[in-house]
Chain A
Amino acid sequence: MKFFLTILITSFTLLANAQNHENAKASITKMVLIKGGYYKPLFKKNGQSEREFVNSFYIDIHAVTNEQFLRFVKANPDWSRSKVKKIFADGSYLKDWQSDFNPGENVNPSAPVTYVSWFAAKAYCSWAGKRLPTMAEWELVAMAGKNSPGPNKDKKFNERLIRWYSAGLPQRLNKVMSGEKNYWGAYDMFGLIREWTFDFNTTNINGTAICGGGSAGATDLTNYPAFLRYGFNSCLSANSDLGNLGFRCAKDTK
C-alpha cells in the first residue's frame, strides 16, 4: 500500500513538474546571441560620439505571441484585462482578445501579442526570467541585413521599410517567424509589429520635441524609417496600448 502510494505521489509530482516545465518551456522563446557592436543612433546623445557601442546580449528570435502572453496572464491574473490597473495600461489593453483569459477566434495564437503596455511587457519579461531590450540593443539587431551584421546600407531596404510603415493596421496579424530572418537569426524585426524597448522614451531628451516634428541634431536626414521609428517612440507613454505594438525579451550574457 505504502509503495503504491509512493509511486502515485511520485508520478503525480513528476507529471506536475513536467507540465510546469512544458509550460515554462513553451513560454520561453529561443534566444540568439548578438555580438557586441557599434550602432549609430538617429539622434546623438549629449557628449557622445556618433556611434554607440552595445555589449553582447541575447535576444528572443521572435516577438512574444498571444499564446505565450496568455500563459503569463493565467499565472498572473492581476494582468488580465478586467483587473489591470489604469496606471499600468490604458483603455485599449488586450482590446482584440475576446475575454480576460481567451484571445478568441479573431486573433492568431501564434501572432505577436499587441495592445500591451510597456508595464505589461516588462512584467512578462521579468516573469520569464528575462528583460526588455534597450533601444540601442534593439537597433543593433535591427540594422543587420540578411548576410551581415550591418549597417544595412541597401537603399531598397529603406524603401521596403517605408512601404511597410505606410500601410495601415492589417485586420489580422501574421504569425511570428512568417517573415524574414536576419543575419543574427532574429525574425520579423520589420514588417510585422513595432516593439517596446526598455528606454523608449529617451530619444532626444533635451532636443526638440520630436513627437510632432523637429529634426535638428539628426545624424542621417534621409533615414526616414528611423525618423518614423523614433518619432513613434517619442509619442508613446508607458501605458499606451496599440494594435501594431508588441515586444520581445532580451537577456544579459552573464
Chain B
Amino acid sequence: MKKYLLILPAAILLTGTVYFLAPGNNNSRKPDLIVKNTDAGNEVTKPNDDDCCKAITITEGGYTDMSVYLSNGKWADQNGNKADLGKFKNKNVVLAMFFASCQSACPVIVNDMKIIEKTIPENKINNYRFVLVSIDPERDTPRVLKNYARDHNLKSPNWTLLTGSKNDIMELAMMLGFKYSKNSSGGFTHTNLISFLNDKGEIIFQNDGLVVDMGSVSKTISKLN
C-alpha cells in the first residue's frame, strides 16, 4: 500500500521535470525583438535627446547660447540703481515676474520663493539671488518696488526687484515662456512661473503654477553650486 502512495507524487515529479527541461519552457528570457519599419514613406527616428547636452558655444562675457542674460535689457532696481541682468552672472537665480498691485497670485508666488529660500543650505545661501521683475512699469516705479520689498520683508542683496521698458519686459517673458496681458481695469492676467537660472543664466528648471514641486526644486538646488 505504501508503495503505491509514493508512485503518484513520483509521477508528478517526473512529469514536472520533463516539462521544465523541454525546450522553450524554461525560465530564460527570449531575446528582445526589434522589428524595423520597412515602409518607405515613414521616417523612422530614434527618440530625440539632442536637446540636452549639445556642445554650446561660449560667447563673450561668458554667456552660453541659451543664457537669458543675452537679452541686453536695461533695468532699474528697487533702490533706483541701473541694473543689468548680467550682474547675476556667477550666482544662482530664482526669478519670477509679477506686479505690485497683484492681489491674488503674486503674493503666493513671492511666498513660494521665500519657502524655497528657506530650503537652501546655510553654506550656499550666498550663492543665490531672488529676483522679481515687474510687468507693470507704469505703476511699479523703483519707489513702489522699494515699499513692496519692505512690506514683504525682501532684503537686499538677496532680493532684487526690477522694473524696465515694455520691450525688455516682453523679451524676458518670451525667453522664460511667461505669459501676461493687461486688463481693461489696469491689472494683468498672467501665468505663474518660478524659474531657476544657473550661474551662466541658463534656465535649468521651471515651476509652473502656484504649487511648488518641492521634490524637483530640491533636486535642482542640489545640482547648483
| Chain B residues, Cβ within 8 Å of A38 | none
Indicate whether A85 sits within 8 Å of B189 (C-beta atoms), given known contacts A131-B167, A202-B179, A205-B179.
Answer: no
- Contact A45-B181, Cβ < 8 Å, known A85-B59, A87-B67: yes
Given A122-B167, A202-B180, A205-B181, residue A238 in contact with residue B190 (CB < 8 A): no
Confirm or deny: B80 has a beta carbon within 8 angstroms of a beta carbon on chain A: no
Q: Does A86 contact B (CB under 8 A)?
A: yes
Structural contact, A199 and B65, CB atoms closer than 8 A: no
CA separation between A38 and B177, bound complex, in Å? 29
Kindly state the separation between the CA atoms of A77 and B67 in the bound complex, as whole angstroms.
19
Q: Which residues in window 40-61 of A have CB below 8 A to B? A: 45-49, 52
> A85-B70, A86-B66 known; A47 and B179 CB under 8 Å?
no
Report if B68 contacts A (CB, 8 A).
yes
Name B70-99 residues within 8 Å CB distance of A. Answer: 70
Chain A residues contacting B187 (CB-CB under 8 Å) are 47
Contacts A46-B189, A85-B59, A205-B191; is A119 near B174 (CB within 8 Å)?
yes
Interface size for chain A: under 10, 10 to 19, 20 to 34, or 35 or more residues? 20 to 34
Instruction: Say yes or no: A87 contacts B181, CB within 8 Å.
Output: no
Given A205-B190, A205-B191; A47-B65 close (CB under 8 Å): no
Q: Is the CB of A45 within 8 A of B183?
A: yes
Residues facing A in B98-112 (CB within 8 A) are: none
Q: Residues of A contacting B56 with CB < 8 Å?
A: 86
For B59, B65, B70, B189, the residue with the greatest tally of chain A CB atoms inside 10 Å of its CB is B189
CB of A19 within 8 Å of the partner chain: no
A198 close to chain B: CB less than 8 A: yes
Count B-side interface residues using an 8 Å CB cutoff: 23
Cβ-neighbour of A126 out of B68, B70, B167, B181 (below 8 A): B167
Nearest CB of chain A from residue B220's CB, rounded to whole Å: 19
Chain B 176-199, CB-CB to A under 8 Å as 1, else 0, gives 010111011101011100000000
Q: Which of A187-211 contact B (CB under 8 A)?
A: 198-199, 201-202, 205-206
Contact A48 B183 (CB under 8 A): yes
Q: By CB atoms of chain A within 10 A, which of B66, B183, B184 has the most?
A: B184
Residues of A within 8 A of B183 (CB): 45-48
A49 neighbours in B (Cβ, 8 Å): 184
Scan residues 49-79 of chain A and give those whose CB is less than 8 A from a CB of chain B: 49, 52
B175 on the A face (CB < 8 A): yes
Residue of A nearest to B184 (CB): A48
Decide yes or no whether A237 CB sits under 8 A from chain B.
Answer: yes
User: Cβ of B117 < 8 Å from any Cβ of A?
Assistant: no
Q: Which residues of A contact B210 (CB under 8 A)?
A: none
Known: A48-B184, A126-B167. 12 other contacts (CB 8 A): A45-B189, A85-B59, A85-B70, A87-B66, A87-B68, A87-B175, A119-B171, A122-B167, A202-B181, A206-B191, A237-B177, A238-B175
